[in-house]
């Protein structure tokens, strides 16, 4: 399970960086989104992958780290998802406006790539 998650994080990060190096604005936005997904999975995996572990201490279990999941990475990832959605929406609006102004979706504004 941990190896599969590590491979998934690597693939998402690699694809995100590759897309961010492209010259089209939609590719850059998609690359940023994929990179944020990879970072979210990385933060989530830092809280130890636990199945059927309670995030809040109750009286039925012993208060040790072996019996509970860490709720902090879950809260950080949830916050990052909301911020990432807002960032993606803002970048799409800016990209559409730039497309209307320049007539191209190239990041540098020149059709055919950088000179």
Contact 61, 68 (CB under 8 A): yes
67-73: long-range contacts at Cβ-Cβ below 8 A with a sequence spacing of 24 or more?
71/47, 72/47, 73/43, 73/44, 73/46, 73/47
Q: What is the pTM of this model?
A: 0.78
How far, in whole angstroms, is CA 98 from its chain's centroid? 24
Tokens of 88: 């993606």
**Taking the domains of the chain in order of start, what are their residue ranges?**
2-51+65-102
Residue in the structure block whose two tokens are 């970072």: 39
In order along its 115 residues, the chain shows pLDDT tens digits of: 889 999 999 999 999 999 999 888 899 999 999 999 999 999 988 877 777 777 777 777 777 777 777 778 888 999 999 999 999 999 999 999 988 888 888 877 666 555 4
Third-level CATH fold of 2-51+65-102? Helix Hairpins (1.10.287)
């Amino acid at each position: 399970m941990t190896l599969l998650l590590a491979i998934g994080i690597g693939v998402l990060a690699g694809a995100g960086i590759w897309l961010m190096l492209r010259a089209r604005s939609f590719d850059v936005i998609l690359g940023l989104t994929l990179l944020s997904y990879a970072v979210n999975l990385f933060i989530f995996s830092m809280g130890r992958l636990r199945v059927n572990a309670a995030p809040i201490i109750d009286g039925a279990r012993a208060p040790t780290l072996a019996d509970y999941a860490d709720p902090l990475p879950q809260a950080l990832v949830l916050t990052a998802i909301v911020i990432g959605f807002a960032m993606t929406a803002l970048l799409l609006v800016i990209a559409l406006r730039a497309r209307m102004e320049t007539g191209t979706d190239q990041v540098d504004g020149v059709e055919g790539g950088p000179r």
